[in-house]
Amino acid sequence: MRTVPPLVAAYLADLDRRLSGADPAERADIVDSVREHIDVALDELEHDPTGDDVRRVLADLGTVDDVVAAWSPDTPPLPTVRRSLTDSPVGVVLVALGGLALGLVLAPVSLVLLAIPAAALVLAIVSSVGWVRRGTHWKSWRTTFVLTVPVLLVTGFVTVALTAVYSSSESVGGDPQPIVSVPSTP
């Protein structure tokens, strides 16, 4: 179990103080819900949170006054953190298989439209940079990368293979000429 970062402990203590006039059971539910929301957001980082990570999660949540003001019977509870399809290994496999299927569908036209493998390569590079930088939409970039790589591999392979097949059947000076071998006589 992870220790609670000091910034989170201070935030939750301040929230508990600001809710001191509320029903004790309701106050405990609110603080527990906010704690759970923070824990989920920090768990999604997939690394030990830094001070900047904690500050970013708390900033996304809003000030304690914002949370207290938002918590009333007329407003819904805090939004849950959105999960990505590629959060699980099964999801990664499913997205990669989808990319493989898409690559197979695009393969017949990849030789004619050499832009497909080139565009897939550019998209794979851009999405890998977005994924590594861990910006606001890094999970979307991860999903895009996992989907794009199989498309790139299949269309690139088909393009290279078909290019090799077509270029080996061509001859210099027009139509291919049959090779006739005449047996040598002693």
**CA 51, CA 89: separation in Å to the nearest integer?**
29
Scanning 24-137, the segments in alpha helix (DSSP H) are 24-43, 51-61, 64-70, 89-110, 115-133
Percent share of the chain, pLDDT over 90: 0
Domain chopping of the chain, boundaries = 6-70, 85-168
- What's the gap between Cα 172 and its chain centre? 49
- What's the gap between Cα 157 and its chain centre? 24
Task: Kindly report, residue by residue over 41-92, the tens digit of the pLDDT.
Answer: 888 877 788 888 888 888 888 888 888 777 755 445 555 556 677 777 887 8
Q: What is the pLDDT of residue 75?
A: 46
pLDDT at 33 over 60: yes
Structure-block tokens of residue 9? 């402990």
Task: Kindly report, residue by residue over 118-155, the tens digit of the pLDDT.
Answer: 778 888 888 888 777 776 677 788 888 888 888 888 87
Q: Is 92 exposed, middle or buried (0-12, 13-18, 19+ CB in 10 A)?
A: middle
Task: Kindly report, residue by residue over 96-124, the tens digit of the pLDDT.
Answer: 888 888 877 877 776 566 777 777 888 88
Q: Which residues pair with 174 in a beta bridge?
A: 171
